[in-house]
């Protein structure tokens, strides 16, 4: 299951909308081992394509090193599909290379409604998982090394 | 002194779980062959017949080796080589 704060969910959708009809992509970093997405990092799509995405290699290096220095990992790796459903394509599956990450897909094919789904992709096998959106926004608890999830009360949406 | 090579999670099965290993060589190609002598199979995940695999990024210090000399890039003791799988995919 992916548990994600509402503001982070909204930022992913907003990024996907902003880059439509090209695919948008990025990362949400979190403390290593916490499974809690915390720090939103939109990435360039080096391909600038409606059917393909690839992180810019230089930007990826910088972001991965920064995560390393902060003891973070890519908890969520997201990208958008702009004409197809929010389900991993064969391309997505063959290039999935972070076994610990939640792969989030957003479809922007419908202008008024975004499909937001999360998957694990391990050795070519896709497993969809539940997405739980919880209240939360910038404030206490965000970017703190560890602590009780203050400000992350559950709230069904 | 040696060359430090940082290994991503997905390739640590070849390094017994180690996040970084050390190797030697005058070029990236020599370094990868040296690593493969102790971590068999690692080289194949990074290189195919025509050079570096398309969806693997290899950096010398903080620069993508594609912008340097690819497998012919000179390396030296004290350098750090970082391997990162490209993050890529798409709707079709």
Task: Work out how many CB contacts closer than 8 A connect A with B.
Answer: 87
- Chain A contact for B59, CB < 8 A? yes
The pLDDT of residue A145 is: 42
The pLDDT of residue A144 is: 44
The pLDDT of residue A154 is: 44
Verify whether the Cβ–Cβ distance A97 to B82 is below 8 Å: no
Select the residue of B62, B64, B92 nearest A51 (Cβ to Cβ): B92
Tens of pLDDT, residue by residue over A113-151, are 999 999 999 989 999 999 999 997 655 444 444 444 444
Q: Locate tokens 């969910």: which residue?
A: A9
Beta bridge partners of B66: none
Tens of pLDDT, residue by residue over B68-84, are 999 999 999 999 999 99
- Chain B contact for A79, CB < 8 A? yes
DSSP B14-82: GGTT-SEEEE--SBHHHHHHHHHHHSTTHHHHHEETTEE-TTEEEEETTEEGGGTTGGG-B--TT-EEE
The pLDDT of residue A152 is: 44
Q: Which chain B residue shows the shortest CA-CA distance from A46? A: B88
ipTM of the complex: 0.91
- Chain A contact for B91, CB < 8 A? yes
pLDDT confidence band for B64 (50 / 70 / 90): very high
Burial of A121 (0-12, 13-18, 19+ CB in 10 A): buried
Determine which helix (DSSP H) or strand (DSSP E) holds A90, and give its type and residue range. helix A90-95
Chain A residues 10-29 within an 8 A CB cutoff of chain B? 23, 25, 27
Closest residue by Cα to residue B11 from B62, B53, B51:
B53
Rounded percentage of chain A residues whose pLDDT exceeds 70: 87
pLDDT mean values, one per 10 residues, chain A (157 residues): 96 97 97 96 96 96 96 97 95 92 97 94 95 77 45 46
Q: Are A135 and A8 in contact (CB under 8 A)?
A: no
- Mean residue pLDDT across chain B: 95
Verify whether the Cβ–Cβ distance B88 to A99 is below 8 Å: no
The pLDDT of residue A96 is: 94
Q: Which one of B10, B91, B92 makes the best mutation probe of the A interface by having the most chain A beta carbons within 10 Å?
A: B91
Q: Are B85 and B10 in contact (CB under 8 A)?
A: yes
For residues B78 and B2, give the distance between their C-alpha atoms in angstroms, rounded to a whole number: 6
């Amino acid at each position: 299951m992916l548990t994600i704060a509402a503001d982070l969910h909204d930022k992913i959708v907003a990024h996907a909308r902003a880059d439509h009809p090209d695919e948008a992509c990025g990362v949400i970093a979190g403390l290593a081992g916490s499974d809690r997405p915390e720090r939103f990092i939109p990435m360039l799509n080096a391909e600038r394509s409606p059917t393909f995405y690839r992180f810019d290699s230089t930007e990826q290096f910088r972001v991965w090193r920064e995560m390393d220095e902060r003891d973070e990992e890519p908890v969520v790796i997201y990208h958008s599909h702009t004409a197809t459903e929010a389900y991993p394509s064969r391309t997505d599956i063959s290039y999935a290379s972070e076994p610990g990450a939640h792969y989030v897909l957003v479809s922007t094919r419908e202008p008024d409604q975004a499909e937001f789904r999360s998957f694990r992709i391990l050795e070519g096998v896709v497993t969809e998982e539940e997405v739980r959106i919880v209240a939360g926004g910038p404030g206490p608890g965000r970017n703190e090394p560890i602590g009780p999830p203050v400000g992350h009360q559950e709230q069904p949406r | 002194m040696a060359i430090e090579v940082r290994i991503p999670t997905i390739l640590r099965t070849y390094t017994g779980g180690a996040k970084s290993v050390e190797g030697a060589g005058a070029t990236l190609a020599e370094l990868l062959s040296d690593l493969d002598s102790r971590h068999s199979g690692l080289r194949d995940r990074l290189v195919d017949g025509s050079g570096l695999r398309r969806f693997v990024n290899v950096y010398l210090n903080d620069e993508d080796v594609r912008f340097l000399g690819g497998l012919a890039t000179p390396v030296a003791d004290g350098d750090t080589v970082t391997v990162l799988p490209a993050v890529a995919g798409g709707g079709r």
